[in-house]
Amino acid sequence: MGRRILSIYDLGRLSKMRGQFSFREAPLFKAILETLNCINSCVTFEFSSEALSVRQLDSTRVAMADYVIPKECFEDWIPPETQKKKFKLDVQGILAVFPKVSRDTRLHIELESEQAIFSFIDAGKVRRRFFQMLAVEELEEYPPPAIEGAKCKIWLKPFIEDLQELKKVFGESAATLSLDEIGEKLIVEGKGENIRFIKRFINTYKLGEGILLQLEGQAKSKYNIARLNAYAFPQPILHLSEVANIEFGNDTPLKVAFTPKDMLLADAKFTHYLACIV
């Protein structure tokens, strides 16, 4: 990916800046923010010499987003002067003022000592610019959970649609996910104690029948249905991915690794975790 040559004006500003980077296509950054907003409305980013990353818990501390977007995904990549910088952004606030953009709209982000500057550029001209105050963060470390168990690969869109139907029926009830390598199937089962009409709802996905693409191992674990929808498989992730790799063991957290569908984000990693119900 080509890099723009810095002007004297650019170099003169570096002493006042903590770093800067650009997305060639602004809608991609918007899709990332929309997905993160499902986890938490305020998100802490880490900006290092190699990547822009996020490891963010939801407010109830049952879910986590773990994103790593390496510098190869950006243009005009100028890292902070120190090794790493952590800063919090009001994601919900940014999305509220995010303009309508096309794939031709470039987004340039500058991080200064107390603010982030977002510039939207079309045909080489800045069309809109807004500012947001930064809160510098020193965070607790949240290592991702180690999961040993079964794995499968799925097509996201039809799977998310089925989870949404499950939520309509059972709401906050639990869903059991089962992987059966011998039977070559993934089973999603919902049960409701106080549901008037439907007590049980089962979706069975078999290899070779469309949604389930790969399967390895056997495991069973239980998760909150509403949180599966909101945190593990949020609707906005479909702007970033079409396929996901799922991992879980017996009564373990769920790991969902989304495969980027856009070549500009080919090297990025987007992973969600969700605690199980025991």
Q: Specify if 251 maps to a domain.
A: yes
Tell whether 122 and 206 lie within a shared domain: no
Domain-located, residue 143: no
Q: Is the dihedral of CA 159, 161, 164, 165 positive or negative?
A: negative
Distance CA 212, CA 206 (A): 6
How many folded domains does the chain comprise?
A: 2
- Does a structural domain hold residue 144? no
Which of the two residues, 94 and 141, has the higher pLDDT score? Answer: 94
The pLDDT value given to residue 173:
85
Whole-angstrom distance, CA of residue 94 vs CA of residue 116: 11
Q: Are residues 254 and 214 in the same domain?
A: yes
Residue 164 lies in a domain: yes
Q: What is the mean pLDDT of the chain?
A: 87
| Percent of the chain predicted with pLDDT > 90 | 64
Q: What is the pLDDT of residue 183?
A: 82
Same domain, 78 and 191: no
Residue type, position 179, single letter = L
For position 211, which CATH number holds? 3.70.10.10
pLDDT at 5 over 50: no
Q: Which residue has the tokens 């079409």?
A: 242
Averaged over 169-184, what is the pLDDT? 87
Asked whether 6 and 75 are in contact (CB, 8 A), the reply is: no
**CA separation for the pair 242, 155 (Å, rounded):** 6
CB atoms closer than 10 angstroms to residue 211? 19
pLDDT in tens, 225-250: 999 999 999 999 999 999 999 999 99
Higher-scoring residue by pLDDT: 124, 137: 124
Enumerate residues 6+ apart whose C-beta is below 8 A from 71.
21, 49, 50, 51, 77, 79
Helices and strands: H and E segment counts in the chain? 5, 19
CATH number at residue 52: 3.10.150.10
Average pLDDT rounded to a whole number, residues 59-69? 96
Position 246 scores a pLDDT of 97
Query: Which pLDDT score is estimated for 7?
Result: 46
Q: Are 139 and 43 spatial neighbours (Cβ–Cβ below 8 Å)?
A: no
- Out of 101, 136, 171, a domain closes at 136
User: pLDDT-derived band of residue 198, with 50, 70 and 90 as boundaries?
Assistant: low
Q: What is the pLDDT of residue 275?
A: 97
In the predicted model, is pLDDT for residue 137 greater than 70? no
Residues 155 and 122 in one domain: no
The residue segments making up the domain with residue 183 are: 150-274
Query: Are residues 218 and 157 part of one domain?
Result: yes
Q: Does 1 reside within a domain?
A: no
The predicted model gives 242-269 an average pLDDT of 96
Is residue 257 a part of any domain in this protein?
A: yes
Query: Is the per-residue pLDDT at 61 higher than 50?
Result: yes
- Read off the pLDDT of each residue in 55-77 and give the average, rounded to a whole number: 95
Residues 256, 215 share a domain: yes
